[in-house]
Structure 1
Amino acid sequence: MAGPVSILKCNASICPVTASWFGYRPSLAMNATFLSIFIIALVLHTVFYYRYRTTGFSICMCIGCALEVSGYVGRILAHFNPWSLPAFFVQINGIGLAPTFFAAGIYLCLTRIVIAYGAGISRVQPKVYTYVFILCDIGSLVIQLPGGVLSSMSASKGREPTTGAHIGLAGVCFQVFALSIWVLLAMEFAVRCWMAGRSAWEAKYERMRDGWRFIAFLAGLGLAVTTLYARSVYRIVELREGYTGRFARDEIAFFVLEGLMILVLSLVTAVFHPGFGFGEMYQVITEQKATYPSPWKRRAFFMKDLTGTNQLVELTERSETLHSERTLKGSDNERERLARPGL
């Protein structure tokens, strides 16, 4: 009687599919569908980058979509050979790391939302939301990346990648912690806006805020955060049991709680893109954001510190100057357009 066969030597003729890296044969139809839609999302985010020049946001979203594409390519390869190590490596690293970049893109939006309603209402100055949470996201990535590498190394030796899964779990837990703080700060800012009243909101962005495009963007962002949260909680449960646990080997759970959640996130952030929501004010807000000092400078982290000095006055004056210059330039362009023959 033949002894046990190493998973590295397994194939369909001598091993059951339940003994493969995936524990099942990944669905070709479902994975091809997800792959196609993520490619569409990648194209949309690329096009909207050139349309709106949303550099930071678009780079994060494009990297996230590209990683998802690579992950689903790996799963399609696994349909034909569930024992394929390259397919397993590509999936756990592509699909596992992609949400970290999606989270970074989401984090970048809050700074501009705060400026759109009024930086003076916020507890912390606008750049804090960018600097602190991007650093948290980098920290999450730094923790998760070695987990994926160790998992790949263990698998290449035919061993169960338990240690790598647990390291990845720590990274996802940290990501959920950071996302939770971000959500709490966003909710706190919303409450402060409500308590301050509309009269305290930034007047020059009133028309944009009241427009349906900006409201749709906020709703889309809320949905994106919800799906990211749901996926992250699923990922915690999955990695707690390791890559050979019950959830890791449940393809339906994977498609609903991992694939579908991130698919919705990638599409909703493309359809309700921040460039679409903010419109021409996106660049105005970006310029205003640049006027704020680094939050690591002395007395530059909290808005009360800026308010207590001459910095806030200077920031307001610089912001108004930028807005006036952009408005004047827009008026000149409109006059030139109307002056052209046949218009």
Structure 2
Amino acid sequence: MGAPTIDTSVDNGRGGWVPYYYWPSLPAAAIFVALFAITGAIHTYRLFKYKGWYFVPFIIGVIFQAVGYAGRIGSHYDFNSLTFFIMQSLLILLAPALFAASIYMTLSRLAIALHAENLLIIRARWLTTFFVTGDVLSFLAQSAGGGMMAQGDPAGADRGQKIITGGLFIQIFFFGGFIIIATIFHSRLNKSPSHVHEKIKGRKYLLTMYFANGLILVRSVFRVIEYVMPHDGVLMRNEAYLYIFDALLMFLVVAVYLVVKPYGEIFDEWKRRKDLGDLELTRRDRPQEREAMTSSGDIESALSSRSFAEQKPHSSRR
């Protein structure tokens, strides 16, 4: 039996507005509920194992995804339910903003763990604050727009689409800025003669960050195009686009952070330095080493100057 006909006439009780222009696919939604539920459970286990609490927003985003696609299962069985429509539209829309919040916090922690925060163009303590603030603004705008779209009338849907589009533009703006800052940091790290070992240790984390950011950026651009188009545009009428340019891309973001753990290992060094309060003056920032690196440009001179600085107090006491 085929899916029932969808009534888009002005006499359908909502002025022609419908939650979907297709009957939501049960198999597709069920697959992604399972994928996000399984990966979310693994992430949650590792979160408590490694105590990487800054990744809590990311895991909440994974839960949003799983529950959001469960809402699409509900819509399959109850097409006109606003509850299921609101559940899936808001949670799937907002989840990437939560992914972004944790990814923003990764760069400052990585820089501190590598003793390379002096290579950031924004101080590590302000980096997270700045970008997470932008992420919150994007989150709030998309939440407000999603609520308006769920009112169940054409006028509300139109206003909601415009507000969501504004929120997505905010997200893209901050993502673009973050990628630029991360790229500059990576370039400086590669060129720094005093960070030879650190650039090797940090490479996989930076590449993972680029990969995840790129996927979220593509997804956000897709969403902008989707919401700029009319509510009955081609992207809204074909469910496959949602699964290709949103569900699949976001699952890859979740999966890549299972392969490259964003807690434990190198981030233990960040915790150690944070506990010791050793965040403002790295070993590369100390005056003796900076002078040595400026004159000779190699690690050996920096280490020699450090050794001299450490021995000097002993000689003065003799």
Q: TM-score, normalised by structure 1?
A: 0.73
The separation in 2 between residues aligned to 1:4 and 1:236, in whole angstroms, is 27
CA RMSD of aligned residues (A): 2.8
Distance 1:241 1:256 in 2: 18
> Is 1:250 paired with 2:245?
no
Give the percent of matched residue pairs that are identical in Structure 1 and Structure 2: 24
Hey, what does 1:174 align to over in structure 2? 170
Offset of residue 158 of structure 1 = 6.7
Between the aligned partners of 2:278 and 2:229, the Cα distance in structure 1 is: 45
Q: In the superposition, relative to structure 1, how do residues 105 and 288 fare at CA in structure 2: closer, same or farther (>3 Å)?
A: farther
Is 1:121 the counterpart of 2:122 in the alignment? Answer: no
Pick from 92, 97, 106 the counterpart of residue 89 of structure 2: 92
1:330 maps to what in 2? none
TM-score by length of 2: 0.78
Structure 1, unmatched stretches of 5+, are 11-18, 294-302, 313-343
Deviation at 1:30, TM superposition (A): 1.0
CA distance in 2, matches of 1:290, 1:139: 32
5+ residue gaps, structure 2: 1-8, 291-318
Structure 2 residue identity aligned to 1:81: D
Q: Secondary structure at the match of 2:122?
A: coil
Structure 1 match to 2:308: none
Deviations 1:296-335 (Å, cap 9, x if unpaired)?
xxxxxxx9xxx799xx9xxxxxxxxxxxxxxxxxxxxxxx
Distance between the aligned counterparts of 2:175 and 2:241, measured in 1? 23
Q: 1:70 to 1:107 in 2, by over 3 A?
A: same
2:144–2:160: 8 Å Cα contact kept in structure 1?
Answer: yes
Indicate the residue corresponding to 1:107 in structure 2.
104
CA contact (8 A) 1:7 1:20 kept: no
Shift of 1:277: 5.2
Aligned to 2:236, what secondary structure does the other structure show?
Answer: coil
- 1:71 maps to 68
Q: Report the AA paired with residue 226 of structure 1.
A: G
1:124 is displaced (CA, Å) by: 2.4
Query: What is the alpha-carbon distance in structure 1 between the residues aligned to residue 241 and residue 50 of structure 2?
Result: 36
Contact 1:24 1:82 in 2 (8 A): no
Q: Distance in 1 between matches of 2:156 and 2:134?
A: 29
Deviation at 1:215, TM superposition (A): 4.0
The one of 208, 216, 231 equivalent to 2:219 is 231
1:308/1:117 CA distance change after superposition, 3 Å: closer
Task: Summarize deviations over 1:111-150 as a string: whole Å, max 9, x none.
Answer: 0222215122222221121111011111111211211121
> In structure 2, what is the equivalent of residue 31 of structure 1?
29
What is the correspondence of 1:75-224 to structure 2 with a 5 Å cutoff? 75-115=72-112, 116-153=114-151, 155=152, 157=153, 161-195=157-191, 197-199=192-194, 201=195, 206=197, 210-211=200-201, 215-224=203-212
Cα 1:228–1:185 change in 2 (3 A) is: same
Aligned residues: 277
